[in-house]
Amino acid sequence: MQNWDLESLYAGGSQSTKLKNLIAELKALLEKISNDLSAFQKNKEEVDTHAFLKIINQFQFARSGWDELDDFVICVYSQDVTDSDAVVLLDESAVIKAKLDSVQIDLDEALANFSEAHWNGFMELEEVEPYSFYLAERRKTVKDRLPVEMERLINVLSVNGIKAWEQQQQQLLAKLKIPIGSDGEEQGVSIGQAMNEAMYAEDRSHRQKAARAIAETCADHAEDFAVALNRISGFRLDVYEQRGWHNVLKEAVEQNRIQEESIQALMKSIDDNKNLYRAYFQRKVALTRLDEVSWFDLETPTFASEKKIDYAAAKDIIIKQFHQFSEKLGQFAERAFEEGWIETENRPDKAGGGFCASMPLSNESRIFMTYRENYQDVVTLAHEFGHAYHNYILQEEPAFAQQKGTSVAESASTFLENLVLDAAIEHTEDEKEKLALLEVKIKDGLKYVVSVPNMFRFEQEFYARRKNGQLTAEEINNLIKEVESDFYGGIIEGSAPYKWMYISHFYSADKPFFNIPYTIGYLFSNGIYSLAKEATGDFQEKYDELLRNSGRMTVEQLAHTYLDADVTKPEFWNASQQALKDAIEEYLTLTESYVNKGN
């Protein structure tokens, strides 16, 4: 296992003097930018281009500084959720983010107040060209917002409003302890550890017991989480109403830099393939030979690989496959391992899940996960490396050009997942080992084309009902059941109605509907990957160029420029699912003989 090196970034962690100095510097700089913008705005007759460029450059530094501060504090908190000083720093970061957002509003107003002549002249400047897309996007966005003072007030109120409720959910989740058996004794474990036991324990009775413990514990705390979810959604809906936004998806599609028409085409293409995806789960059920199957049976590998992949082997796999795609990518992976960018230890008081933290001032990233010596975790590691590599490609770009849409941010990660997993499937001769790897690929894909779209539908319906008042925990549970029964009906008997409590994406203050970007990114990446397999020559350079321009183009523009595709039509999204469909068809063919004779 490997522990990451945070000390080289900010020695002392939550007690870091260097980190506290950064906080003080950001506060002072944002105050200065605010004053400079105020002075700039007073001079309506003459535009001081030099002064405005200076303001923009300072703001870009502040933006990168906050990104680094927030991600570093999340790292410190995630490695030890009992660190109360880290919780204080999370609050501090939220205050700075509110000030950053407030200054962003002032900057947006300045952009909007440019005359067309001044605007066109400013956009033609050589220094502005690298981030002109971002500035044009901001200028357009401000037209849909409230007057600047009202937008600033919303940001101030959000610190103790929507953002406070997001933190409340994080803290409630961190304190949630699930009593599950261990060597004849019960102990309280985190929700992440309990979910791992419920889905992956070899003994079904252990899975069943863990699932029951999760449900019982969640039931005891459900109303607390329901309050947080209701407050977050209510705050957001109130803001939308004040802005005159009648489409609840407006902010989400803007953040993803994608048209709603493209999302509708994506969802239609997924529905068109629903029967094949159901067929996979039906085959899984048939192979279990159980009279009644529940949610915790679907994730458990039917053909579990006997092979344990220790961390050293995972490192070798990652480096080898990355080098085969490009020397640049392989060398990047070597550096990340050698310099201690990765945290993988399985231990108490560590947060669940995995993420990649970006440190744009330091030009580094940090990867967080818990490694359990299976191929799924190798894939997860590759996924997070994708984010880190994307950060690396963008590090020479101005901060504004690094602001990629949330869905495109998932494209590089999924691309590297495919790179690692497909190589393993291709070179495996043992049938059961191949089936085990196919299950990893299929399970991962179905997460994006079944689970995430289901949660997207759940959120849309939740927001529709929330407009008429708050929902109780029981009502939210029932809504989860309704949405999931549409797909899983007739396949499984028991569901996981409390998943809305521990899927933290539902509670994001800054990113509404923060599930569907993963599906967009997964399928968009599959489109890129299909092209990569067919391409010859300099595709690696073309791939890097796509990543480099991810902060300068919409999803539609990226698809047109690099894939010659139209993502507003279902055909692109159907083609992007072909690799997953092929894997399912192969799995169904190979498992036909197992249905009647046993595993």
Q: What is the full DSSP assignment across 163-226?
A: HHHHHHHHHHHHH--EEEEETTEEEEE-HHHHHHHHHH-SSHHHHHHHHHHHHHHHHHHHHHHH
| Residue 510: pLDDT over 60 | yes
Bridge partners, 188 (sequence order)? 179
Whether 204 maps to a domain, the answer reads no
Output the pTM of the full model.
Answer: 0.87
Element (H, E) at 343: strand 342-343
Whether 74 maps to a domain, the answer reads yes
CB atoms within 10 A of CB 300: 18
Whether 342 maps to a domain, the answer reads no
**Average of pLDDT values for 519-525?**
94
Residue 76 · residue 152 · CB < 8 Å: no
| Residue 164: pLDDT over 90 | yes
The residue type found at 355 is F
Q: What percentage of residues in the chain have a pLDDT greater than 70?
A: 98
Write out the residue range of the structural domain in which residue 32 sits: 13-160
**In the 3-class helix/strand/coil scheme, how is 71-135 assigned residue by residue?**
HHHHHHHHHCCCCHHHHHHHHHHHHHHHHHHHHHHHHHHHHHHCCHHHHHHHHCCCCCHHHHHHH
Q: What is the pLDDT of residue 382?
A: 96
Q: What is the pLDDT of residue 537?
A: 73
- Of the pLDDT bands very low, low, confident and very high (cuts 50, 70, 90), residue 307 is confident
pLDDT tens per residue across span 346-397: 998 999 889 999 999 999 999 999 999 988 899 999 999 999 999 999 999 9
- Of the pLDDT bands very low, low, confident and very high (cuts 50, 70, 90), residue 494 is confident
Backbone φ, ψ for residue 466 (5° rounding): -65, -25
Q: What is the pLDDT of residue 291?
A: 86
**Average of pLDDT values for 106-131?**
92
Q: What is the pLDDT of residue 184?
A: 53
Q: Euclidean distance between the first and final Cα of the chain, in Å? A: 32
**Average of pLDDT values for 14-38?**
97
Question: What is the token pair recorded at 73?
Answer: 């504090």
Q: What is the pLDDT of residue 100?
A: 96
- Of the pLDDT bands very low, low, confident and very high (cuts 50, 70, 90), residue 438 is very high
Whether 488 maps to a domain, the answer reads no
- Of the pLDDT bands very low, low, confident and very high (cuts 50, 70, 90), residue 182 is low
Whether 529 maps to a domain, the answer reads no
Domain count, the chain: 1
- Report the mean per-residue pLDDT for the chain: 93
Whether 77 maps to a domain, the answer reads yes
Query: What CATH number did the domain enclosing 29 receive?
Result: 1.20.140.70
- Of the pLDDT bands very low, low, confident and very high (cuts 50, 70, 90), residue 142 is confident
Q: What is the pLDDT of residue 183?
A: 56
Q: What is the pLDDT of residue 143?
A: 83
Q: What is the pLDDT of residue 561?
A: 93
Whether 90 maps to a domain, the answer reads yes
pLDDT tens per residue across span 426-435: 888 889 999 9
Whether 459 maps to a domain, the answer reads no
CB atoms within 10 A of CB 185: 7
